[in-house]
Structure 1
Amino acid sequence: MRTDDKLDQMEERPTDRARPRMTRTRLWLFGGTLAVYFAIVVGVLANTWLVTFDWQLMFFRPYKQWPAIHEFLDYFVVLGQRGPTAVAVAAWLGWRCWRQRNLHPLLVLGASLLLLNMTVGAAKLGMGRLGPHYATTVGANEMWLGGDIFPSGHTANAVVTWGVLAYLATTPLRRRTLSVIAALGALGVGMTTVYLGTHWVSDVLLGWAAGLLVLLALPWLEPAMTLAEDRLMGLLLRLWLRRPESLRGPLPAGLPAPVSRQRVAPDGEVLVRETVGAGAGGRGGTARTPDGRPHHPPRPHTTRAERSPVTPAGSRRPPHADRVPRATPLSPTSGRGRNGTG
């Protein structure tokens, strides 16, 4: 069997669910969280009661009040470290990409972590706050001193990394369940950093707000992620098609099946046959409908030879017992009878 015939029989990539959109509720949540974010920053900059509470809890030293749980929380706080959590979640989402035959889950994780590093990293370096262990003046907000703990990176990373799993959930029940689990995990990681004395309470509050802003902003990045997915899928498909036929093997999972196009002469002879990727705009990717669902062209059918239509000979009118065919001449007797003279 020829390679082009094999490509015609390949299974098409299944349609995945619609991508999340920026709804009015999500937009209100984003605006409210952004207001809380700036309120925390202003509260720390103005040395309000928030800074006083930071110092009171720092002098309380929770790690000395409950030393029995110190060892456990040393391991638990790893759930907020970017390296281990990113590897674990990427492995799970990579398996989902293979099952769903698209790159959307990994692209969501990559986009969220990139946005998190840009926003949280800029805030950390821009405000330069020192942590409790390095504080210099009692009662001061410790800002602009070259630190990098405001907001809490562990807390924000826990919100985003585990929240991505809820964002990618396929059913409302799973989304609600994973949202609760991610919220509890992020809450635990944030309070653990306060227990260990590595962050102020205000650091943790700002970390929660920063991570939630990243999750709420993901629908705005969906068009860019869809474009990137189409380009990557088209690139992988073109690389696969450039390999020699003897080394190609089966089409890798996740690539849209190529479509075989051909032009046939009236006598049934194939004039031109070419194999192209099922993509929009000739990019080799996957065409999509306006709501974000991928659209796949129908699988081509086996071409049949075209024959010129043949007009059947004779009359097409059905036979009738009382009807005299036109080809039979009327007899004189029948003519006289019809005129009433016979």
Structure 2
Amino acid sequence: MRTDDKLDQMEEQLPTDRVKPPRMTRTRLWLLWGTLAVYIAIVAGVLADTYLVTLDWQVMFFRPYKQWPSIHAFLDYFVVLGQRGPTAVAVAAWLGWRCWKQRNLHPLLVLGASLLLLNITVGAAKLGMGRLGPHYATTVGSNEMWLGGDIFPSGHTANAVVTWGVLAYIATTPLRRRTLSVIAALGALGVGMTTVYLGTHWVSDVLLGWAAGLLVLLAMPWVEPGITWVEDRLMGILLRLWLRLRPDSLRGPLPAGVLVPGLSPQRVAPDGEVLVREAVGVGHATRAPDGWPHHPSRPHTSRAERTPVTPSGSRRPPHADRIPRGAAPFTPATGRGRNGTG
């Protein structure tokens, strides 16, 4: 069987939850640019004191937490689903278990990259526009911009979109992806409306938070090459540490999903094994022209040429007339061996 066929079989035997991440398709690109347009329209509407600002003040004066006080206690706990610390710990614990099961770091790295991108974009917008929240508003009907606040866009809403949306992003089947997408959308919708109910955010804050979180998720395929680069290096470091602790495992099949920098398919033996020694740079093996590592040659004798030795000496009696193995047989007609010896 050719090596390529063997590699194809090995790829088919990888775990079913090791799937390719979503690609930046045409549909996804259109959604990203459409969401960006909505993001810009919301910011422009607030800056221009349009009806969106009027709606913010109308809802604030309505005071939903006074209209339905019976659900206030429940929503105080429910809004934690959008708080960055608790949600990140909970999702990271789940994805950490998935990393252990898949023997790769991709799920955790996707979460880390998405939260980093979220903090940079949302944090910059919050500090740049400096909008005050409803509880700290100073002028009725004003957009309260550039007054030192940090609530535009809503961080709870954007964090709920990204943190729970990551689970749908790395889902392993289309059905799971659709199901988790609906659950994440409903959760983010609930968190955003809860912040309006509690009076901690304007309606426009929540709308911009939904758009900001969705932009991060839609842009994740552009971040995937960087995630793969970091994952390869980290897995190489972990593999080196493992070999320091287990030096007896220098040759063997790599765990599913392990990608070592510099390891090409030609390093996979026909039996499916991978030369781990060469992949991580352990030992002093040299590389032959065919790409396989070879150790320096050393004298070697076949089993038949070795003399069995016992504590009392050799069991094979000496024979003076025995022709050494490898010598040419004697030819009576010429009196010489085939190699010209007499």
Q: TM-score when scaled to structure 1?
A: 0.70
Aligned-partner Cα distance in 1 for 2:230–2:14 = 19
- Please name the residue that 1:137 is paired with: 139
Does the aligned pair in 2 maintain the 1:14–1:101 contact within 8 Å?
no
Counting matched residue pairs gives 261
State the match for 2:237 in structure 1.
235
Task: Say if 1:226 and 1:277 are closer, same or farther in 2 by CA, change over 3 A.
Answer: farther
Please give the alpha-carbon distance, in whole angstroms, between the structure 1 residues aligned to 2:99 and 2:222.
21
Q: Is the 8 A contact 1:108 1:164 kept in 2?
A: yes
Q: For the residues of structure 2 that align with 1:276 and 1:255, how far apart are their CA atoms?
A: 18
Q: Classify 1:66/1:93 alpha carbon distance in 2 versus 1 (closer, same or farther; 3 Å).
A: same
| Contact 2:254–2:276, Cα closer than 8 Å, also in 1 | no
| Alpha-carbon RMSD | 3.1
- Shift of residue 100, structure 1, vs aligned partner: 1.1
Report if aligned partners of 1:236, 1:255 keep a CA contact under 8 Å in 2: no
1:301 aligns with: none
Query: Structure 1 residues 84 and 78 mapped into 2: Cα distance closer, same or farther (>3 Å)?
Result: same
Aligned with 1:203 (options 197, 202, 205): 205
Listed as ranges, the matches of 1:183-202 within 5 Å are 183-202=185-204
Counterparts of 2:279 and 2:19 in 1: how far apart (Å)?
19
TM-fit CA distance, 1:244: 6.5
Q: Which residue, out of 87, 91, 94, partners 1:92? A: 94
Change (3 A) 1:33 1:255: closer
Whether 2:32 is the aligned partner of 1:30: answer yes
CA distance in 1 between counterparts of 2:224 and 2:189 reads: 27
Identity of aligned residues (%): 80
Question: Which residue in the other structure is 2:328 paired with?
Answer: none
Shift of 1:18: 1.7
SS of the residue corresponding to residue 112 of structure 1 reads helix
* Aligned residue in 1 for 2:149: 147
In structure 1, the gaps of 5 or more residues are 1-10, 262-273, 284-304, 307-342
Alpha-carbon distance in structure 2 between the residues aligned to 1:257 and 1:81:
34
Q: 1:82 and 1:103, CA in 2 relative to 1: closer, same or farther beyond 3 A?
A: same
SS at match of 1:276: helix
Q: Mark the CA change 1:28 to 1:244 in structure 2 (over 3 Å): closer, same or farther.
A: closer
TM-score by length of 2: 0.70
Q: Is the 8 A contact 2:21 2:169 kept in 1?
A: no
Whether the 8 Å contact between 2:14 and 2:256 is mirrored in structure 1 is no
User: What residue in structure 2 maps to residue 328 of structure 1?
Assistant: none
Q: Which amino acid aligns with 1:41?
A: V
Shift of 1:168: 0.7
CA distance in 2 between partners of 1:49 and 1:190 (Å): 20
Where in structure 2 are there 5+ consecutive unaligned residues? 1-9, 268-274, 283-300, 303-342
